[in-house]
Every structure is written in structure tokens, then in C-alpha cells.
Structure 1
């Protein structure tokens, strides 16, 4: 379903009595074991308030969901450790949604994040079908396993959810997401394109309207992406490319080339 249509039905948080809670492996790649009296959300494993100094798979799930609320050209490491950058991202998220910006992921913050989450653990305005819309290869045939590609795609979508809100909840058109190797070659993509990992997306708006694309590009630079490319950069006059290359490998670094925006 396109994010330009009515939002997907907001999920009702499923509460599981937990001795062991299996998180959606394609979302966080981990398992959380809760205490005997604890209960947790099925996608995130959340059962406690999270704050600076804490660590765990539940913090990882939090970081995925607030990683689009960083400072300009800043990238939040999804490492399961609640540090100052995670705290600042939580504060920015809280402020954007009218919550008390204390930097702690308590019940109100968790509830708001869960209201933005659909039953498959993706954000409500985006879907896997939008991120695999080039060759419909079901996230197979790329540079990584299907599970890994879907995990990266989910991280991209949560950052796009933040970007969408920063643009006044304006729908975003993903015209290219995951590509298998053959599809990427046919599209003229680089041999190590982030599309091959499920870690990149191309956004088009207004039939290549430069003003609309530049508005996206400016906000995307403060939405946690490792790279943002747009009008004025070679081959990008009709779309904005965003990716999370540092999630794929921290050694790749960031890439924010000059544009005409």
C-alpha cells in the first residue's frame, strides 16, 4: 500500500506474558527474554522504561524507531547502547509529537512509537511492497540474505517516517527500493549500490519538481541517513536518493555531495 493512501490501520499492541519473547528477527535480529512478571510488545520487546546507560535488544528496537530524529548529517548507531545520541534523538521525537522532551523512553513515548507501528513492525505509512517495487523479487537475489535485506529496508522506512512527519506529513513516493543484482544492472546501478542491500531508496515528487525535491533533500539530511543525493548531483536531477550505508558497514562513512538545492 502506498504511503499516499489512508494510513494502514494502527495496530493494537499485543501483550504477551513473557518468559521468552521472540522479536521479529528481520527487524532487530535478536531475542529478548523478559522477567517472569514482565510483558512486552511483540515487535520491540519493550517492557521497561529506557534511559541513558541502559543496553539491550529493546534499546536496539528503540534506536531503529528514533534514528530519523538526529541532528543534521548525524547518524545514530544502532548498537543497543542508550547513549547521549539516542537520548537526543528521543528528545527530538518527543518534541515533534508534543510529548515532554525528557529523553527517556517511558510509557508515553513508547505508546506514541507503537501507534506509528503496523502489525508487521514497519511504520504505518510505509510497506515492504513499496521497498521492493522494482523487480518484485521478494528481497532475494541481492548482496545479502532476504532477512538482512528486509531488516535494512525496515530501518530505511522508519527514517522515512520521520522525514515524512518533518515535511508536514506529506506523502513520499518511493520509486526505487530494493533491487536484485539483475534488476540493479538493468537500471544502471553501481555494482555495490545500497539498493542491493535493501538499504537505499529513491524518492520522486511532483514529476521531478526541483523545489519539491529540494525540500525533501534538506529535511532528509537531518533524518539520520548516511547519504543523501539530489538535484545537481550527477544522475539525480529527478529524484532524491537516501541510504543507510553506515548501517551496512560503519567503514563506509557518510556521503552528502554538493547539490544545486
Structure 2
């Protein structure tokens, strides 16, 4: 029998709310708090336009889903250079999370970003296992090494955190994340350069939203690959940001 105290971790409560406590028969008295996310990244005092380096790269990864206000062929370059694109995306992030909108990443912004991080490097609302290849290969057997796949998946998680936030915090189900070459061939033999094989794609369902709505969210979340919304899921990928052979924008249903 599963111990309800162990199963109701921080991620569970973020997904389902404090009602999960009552459902498990646990007290909800004032003062009962959640364990904070691990502050795994050592941020500097602040980052602003003109800043460079690894901390800027990490910031860009975490705000990449805030690339645009409306449908736009734009994405946040993850290059360690804090320029106008990073500045604009950071301001959108700050506005969405109720922070001071100044385009400067400081303690409040870093605390907010760390709250979206889990101790294993995944994000608050997504687990690495949700993106594993369905043939049991985990992150192995792709067109790049497993460590690269895992890092690509982490980047996609942060984009999907933005999609989730823009969807009113509606839960997102990952139907398909990474696919090993063998698994991808077994189901889509013709899709030899599927972006799933690199860990930069996800087929998702957003609770309470149509696939058209999901497509539209992808248009302003830095997603350069969007399959037609005529399916029961919405495919999203980040092909333009990676040198994997499919670097042209592909919005199958056009701009919606």
C-alpha cells in the first residue's frame, strides 16, 4: 500500500492543488508548507542586457517559452548573450508571474525560476519519465546521445511550462516525447528525421483546450514546428533552434 504522505510530493500538489491534501485525509491547517524546489542553479546577483555567460544561457532556457506576445516566427536564442530578445522574453515572464517588469533578472525573478525547477533537473509540472521512449529505451537509441536527449527534453519542459501558464495553468498530458530510432521506425517508418528522435518534440493534450487552442499557444511560445491541429493531440517542436536537419519553420496549419 502506498504511503499517502510520500505520494503527495511538491509536484503532485502543484498539479492538483491543495485539494489533494483533503482527498488523502491530511490536515490543511495554516502553516503547512511545501518543501521548496531545489535551487540547483547558482545564479549571480543579477542579469541584464549586456550580460554574458553560462547564467544567461540558463536564463534563456527557462524563459524560452515567452518568445512572443502573438503568433510569431521568433524564438529566444540560447547563446549566452543577453540581448533584446532575451530582454523582451524576460519581461513577458515577469508580467505573467506577477513580478516587477523591468527586464532585469534579480532575486525575485531567480526565486520564481527556481520554483519551476525540481531537484532532479526536471520542472515543476513535468517528469523526465513522461518523455521516455515508449519502447522502454528511456532516452537511449536516438539520433543523438542520451545526455543530449535529456538536456533537449529539459529545454522543451520549460517551453511547455510557458504553454501551461498561458493555458490558465491547465494540466498537460505528454502523449509522446522522445522516441528511439527503432521505436519511431516501427510506428512511422517514413518519418526518418522525426524531431522526436532528438528529444526536441512533444505531442501534447492540454486539459480543457482544443488542439487548435494548443496550436495557437505554440505559435507564441517559440515552437518552430507545429503539426496541423486536426488531430486529437498537438505536435510541437523546436527544430529551428537545433542543427538536426529540419531548420525551416513548419507550421502546418499556417498562422492561426
- Taking structure 2 as the reference length, the TM-score comes to 0.81
Q: What is the match of residue 29 of structure 2?
A: none
Q: Secondary structure at the match of 2:125?
A: coil
Give 1:69 shift.
0.4
Give 1:82 shift.
0.4
Give 1:176 shift.
0.3
* Alpha carbons of structure 1 residues 11 and 119: separation in structure 2 relative to 1, 3 Å: farther
* Alpha carbons of structure 1 residues 104 and 255: separation in structure 2 relative to 1, 3 Å: same
Residues of 2 paired with 1:64 and 1:54: CA distance?
A: 15
Q: What is the match of residue 80 of structure 1?
A: 80
Q: What is the match of residue 216 of structure 1?
A: 214
Residues of 2 paired with 1:6 and 1:121: CA distance?
A: 18
Residues of 1 paired with 2:63 and 2:255: CA distance?
A: 29
Q: Deviations over 1:172-229 (max 9, x none)?
A: 11100001011001121610111000110001356xx9x6111111111111112122
Give 1:100 shift.
1.1
Residues of 1 paired with 2:108 and 2:75: CA distance?
A: 25
Q: Does 1:47 align with 2:47?
A: no
Q: Does 1:257 align with 2:255?
A: no
Q: What is the match of residue 27 of structure 1?
A: none
Look at both structures and tell me which one has the larger radius of gyration over its CA atoms: 2
Give 1:67 shift.
0.3
Gaps in structure 1 of 5+ consecutive residues: 15-41
Mapped contact 1:94–1:100 kept (Cα < 8 A): yes
Q: What is the match of residue 137 of structure 1?
A: 137
Q: What is the match of residue 29 of structure 1?
A: none
Gaps in structure 2 of 5+ consecutive residues: 1-6, 16-33
Q: Secondary structure at the match of 1:67?
A: helix
Mapped contact 1:133–1:175 kept (Cα < 8 A): no
Mapped contact 2:229–2:253 kept (Cα < 8 A): no
Mapped contact 2:91–2:102 kept (Cα < 8 A): yes
